[in-house]
Amino acid sequence: MKQRLIVATRNAHKVGEIRAILSAFEVLDLSVLNDPPEVEETGKTFLENATLKALAISELTDALVLSDDSGLEVDSLGGDPGVYSSRYAGEDGNDSLNNEKLLREMDGHSERTARFRCVIVLARGGNVLADFSGAVEGRILQKKQGRRGFGYDPLFAPEGDKRSFAELGEEIKNGMSHRSRALEGVADWLCQPGEID
């Protein structure tokens, strides 16, 4: 029987990528829980926010819980949008408004290097078990390219490629992404004898 994991996220795209990457595990979303709370992301770092999400959900279940806090760091913007990536265009924003804002902020910047970062926390029964991180370097394109993926994927080209993550598609993205690099650590950790029952 596959090891079960509940992913503490309301972002269905994250669940899809995590399920595809952790194919040896049974990856469940929050719909298996009764009325899970919306966790306020009050932390100043990816690790703080990932920890808040993992702990809040792990209080509600005996299952192993995995949270993901991630975002885009743009060098010429001093690391913004960073932990505020999902709320860059405001609390009522969305991916499209976030991308428009990023292009406006990048106007006139010739230095366009950036990276996606992902921090994953595993928790059970209100205790953190371990944390993992991953990053992928790249640059911000001049305009949106491609229709696949989510978030800032249409504006992010990984190092060495002219195509965006939204053009490359899930399989190629999952072979190099910040999320897949963090999940490599998760898979190794879960496969160590004695780490979980």
Task: Tell me the DSSP string of the chain.
Answer: -PPEEEE--S-HHHHHHHHHHTTTSEEE-GGGSSSPPPPP---SSHHHHHHHHHHHHHTT-SSEEEEEEEEEEEGGGTT-BGGGGGGTT-TT--HHHHHHHHHHHHTT----EEEEEEEEEEEETTEEEEEEEEEEEEEE-SS---SSSSTTGGGEEETT-SS-HHHHHHHHHHTT-HHHHHHHHHHHHHHSTTS--
Q: Does 132 bind ligand ITT (CB under 6 A)?
A: no
CB nearer ligand ITT, residue 96 or residue 195: 96
Q: Which of 153, 157, 181, 183: binder of ligand ITT (CB under 6 A)?
A: 153
Q: Which residue is nearest to ligand ITT (CB)?
A: 151
Q: Does 138 bind ligand ITT (CB under 6 A)?
A: no
Q: Which of 70, 145, 164, 180: binder of ligand ITT (CB under 6 A)?
A: 70
Could you tell me the smallest distance in angstroms from the CB atom of residue 49 to ligand ITT?
6
Give me the residues that bind ligand ITT (CB under 6 A), please.
9-11, 14, 41, 68-72, 85-86, 98, 116, 149-153, 177, 179
